[in-house]
Amino acid sequence: MIADRRRLVAGVLDGDPRAIARSISLVEAEGAAGADVIKGVFRQSGRATLLGVTGAPGVGKSSLVDRLVTTVRGDGRTIGVLAIDPTSPFSGGAILGDRVRMQTHTGDVGVFVRSMATRGELGGLARATGDAVVILDAAGFDLIVIETVGVGQAEVEISRTADMTVVVTMPGAGDGVQALKAGVMEIADLFVVNKADHDGADRAVAEIQTMLGLHPYQPEEWRPPVLQTRATDGTGVPEVLRMIDAYCARGDTEVGRRRRARFEARVRHLVSENLLRHVEQQALEPGAFARILDQVVATEVDPYTAAEAIVRQAVNTTSPPADTFSS
């Protein structure tokens, strides 16, 4: 088993597509095997640029990403794409819509496309997205694109995962005030008005510019540019890539701050999971957690008191048994 894991890690570091795909499947399963892979490759990560692409359904995110892949490859760089798709109600897996649309890149060793199911996670991302990014980063991809599922204002999570966030919109997607209320508009480092050949494209750009004018940007701050594209034929996409490179070349401390915040959140999450597992499996008597939960369900005990009692017992403080409470 250990030898198999070592071979898998070696395959990831060599950029082997099958090893990468297998490793991402393991981290999606959220078991010890996936954790072992991350432990084996993590020190070789940290070099890729992480780009988040978000926006409402139907604005052309997938088409834009597809054209961006072509442009990046034409520039001699490699690119990995994590397309977060809705969960299938039948299989529990990703519906695979984005991977179907990116078949033109099949066979290109410099491109890796993976669909990941949200599996009920909020924020427009799959739970294992962060670990999948580490795997692609360690595999040597220069740019990693995370395309969110496209559900609207809940997708602000992408701004905490990516180094740079591109918000895609289109003419007729709503006025600037409505867009501002959606929350997604506030996380953008770059705005792209796609389908620029449609009526109202210039108006959409003007509305976003007006909205940006309400923010008092300092001279040294990055003011999000607003670009127009036609993903159907690639018009404007090279300028999008140039703007991405310009943002990442600034040496802005914002990228470093985001990366630190991203890993802080990940470590805190893992600590919480491990502590809860320890409490349930070792600190509490068998069946104690279920008995406490029964009391909460019966409204005999509130969740806060229940949690406090569990923690007290877990750290071996002097307290009544965790499944007995005074009213």
What pTM value is reported for the model? 0.83
pLDDT of residue 239: 97
pLDDT of residue 319: 45
**pLDDT interval class at 148 (50, 70, 90):** confident
Q: What phi, psi does 96 have (nearest 5°)?
A: 70, 20
* Segment 287-293 long-range contacts (CB within 8 Å, at least 24 positions apart): 288/313, 288/321, 288/322, 288/323, 291/323, 292/322, 292/323
pLDDT of residue 312: 81
CA 101 to each of CA 67, 71, 107, 120, 219: distance values in angstroms, whole numbers, following the listed order: 11, 16, 15, 23, 41
The listed range with the strongest mean pLDDT (9-18, 147-156, 250-259) is: 9-18
pLDDT of residue 35: 92
pLDDT of 226 strictly over 90: yes
Least confident of 27-41, 81-95, 302-316: 81-95
User: What is the full DSSP assignment across 55-92?
Assistant: E-TTS-HHHHHHHHHHHHHHTT--EEEEEEEPBPTTTS
Q: Is the four-CA dihedral 245, 63, 152, 134 of positive or negative sign?
A: negative
**pLDDT interval class at 110 (50, 70, 90):** very high
Q: What is the pLDDT of residues 124-137, one digit of tens each?
A: 466 688 899 999 99
pLDDT of residue 166: 94
Mean pLDDT, range 24-45, rounded to an integer? 93
Q: What is the pLDDT of residues 1-18, one digit of tens each?
A: 677 889 999 999 999 999
In angstroms, rounded to a whole number, what is the distance separating the alpha carbons of residues 220 and 325? 57
The listed range with the strongest mean pLDDT (43-47, 216-220, 250-254) is: 43-47
pLDDT of 119 strictly over 80: no
179/244: higher pLDDT: 244
pLDDT of residue 44: 95
Report which of 73, 158, 60, 164 is spatially closest to residue 113, judged by C-alpha positions. Answer: 73
The CATH superfamily holding the domain 46-250 is: P-loop containing nucleotide triphosphate hydrolases (3.40.50.300)
Q: Is the four-CA dihedral 261, 189, 104, 116 of positive or negative sign?
A: positive
pLDDT of residue 1: 63
136 CB burial (10 A radius; 0-12, 13-18, 19+): buried
Q: What is the pLDDT of residues 161-217, one digit of tens each?
A: 899 999 999 998 654 445 555 566 678 899 999 999 999 999 999 989 988 888 888
Q: What phi, psi does 226 have (nearest 5°)?
A: -125, 115
Angle at alpha carbon of residue 82, lines to 80 and 83, rounded to 5°: 130
Yes or no: say if 17 and 121 are a contact pair by the CB < 8 Å rule. no
**pLDDT interval class at 100 (50, 70, 90):** low
Helix (H) or strand (E) run with residue 54 in it: strand 49-55
Mean pLDDT, range 38-48, rounded to an integer? 94
